[in-house]
């Protein structure tokens, strides 16, 4: 067995050392080009696919209609979420809102990704509401403390 000359990218055991990956990885341009070519083919046949889906839906095959329409006419990203959510002026109202979001996903009114984005928004909102509530409580405490101190001051 021959010894390979020492290299900065390999350790003494022959493995790549930290910071030196084993190779360039999968070429992304090839994958993107293949996906773009497939998108072009599907776009060229979109009208035919729609006609087939329409005929099958007319025959009662709604699953085929949904599958094809999801590919030909996907739901746009960043669309407004049309789910009825209760107002949440207090942090205690978060349970009702979270339940409404989960129910919207289970009813098919929202996707899991939309619910995850909404949950992130709800967490941020909860923080803001909590900080606002804390600031109000602190102001009320200071006011009550100042009143007590005025009442306790001996009159001269």
pLDDT tens for each residue of 11-44: 788 787 787 766 666 667 777 888 889 889 988 8
Q: What is the pLDDT of residue 39?
A: 86
In this structure, what token pair is assigned to residue 145?
A: 């403390």
Query: What residue spans of the chain are helical by DSSP H?
Result: 28-44, 46-58, 62-72, 94-106, 112-152
In this structure, what token pair is assigned to residue 146?
A: 């100042």
DSSP at 60: T
Residue 115, class by beta-carbon neighbours within 10 Å (0-12 exposed, 13-18 middle, 19+ buried)?
buried
| pTM for the predicted model, two decimal places | 0.43
What is the rounded CA–CA span in Å between residue 45 and residue 65? 15
Q: What is the pLDDT of residue 55?
A: 86
Residue 130 pLDDT level (bands cut at 50, 70, 90): confident
Q: Where are the domains of the chain?
A: 16-74, 77-156
Q: What is the pLDDT of residue 50?
A: 79
Q: What is the pLDDT of residue 144?
A: 94
Q: What is the pLDDT of residue 17?
A: 79
Q: What is the pLDDT of residues 57-107, one digit of tens each?
A: 888 888 877 776 776 676 666 666 666 777 777 777 788 888 888 888 888
Q: What is the pLDDT of residue 140?
A: 95
The phi, psi pair for 30, rounded to 5°, reads -65, -45
């Amino acid at each position: 067995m021959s010894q390979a000359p020492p290299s900065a990218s390999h350790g003494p055991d022959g493995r790549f050392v930290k910071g030196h990956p084993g190779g360039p990885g999968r070429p992304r341009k090839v994958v993107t080009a293949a996906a773009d070519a497939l998108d072009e083919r599907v776009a060229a046949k979109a009208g035919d696919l729609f006609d087939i889906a329409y005929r099958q839906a007319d025959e009662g095959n709604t699953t085929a209609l949904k599958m094809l329409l999801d590919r030909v006419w996907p739901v746009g990203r960043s669309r407004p979420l049309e789910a009825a959510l209760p107002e949440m002026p207090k942090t205690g109202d978060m349970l009702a809102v979270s339940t409404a979001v989960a129910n919207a996903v289970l009813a098919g009114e929202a996707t899991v990704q939309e619910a995850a984005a909404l949950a992130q928004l709800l967490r941020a909102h909860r923080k803001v509401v909590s900080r606002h509530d804390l600031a109000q409580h602190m102001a009320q405490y200071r006011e009550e403390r100042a009143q007590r101190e005025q009442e306790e001051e001996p009159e001269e």
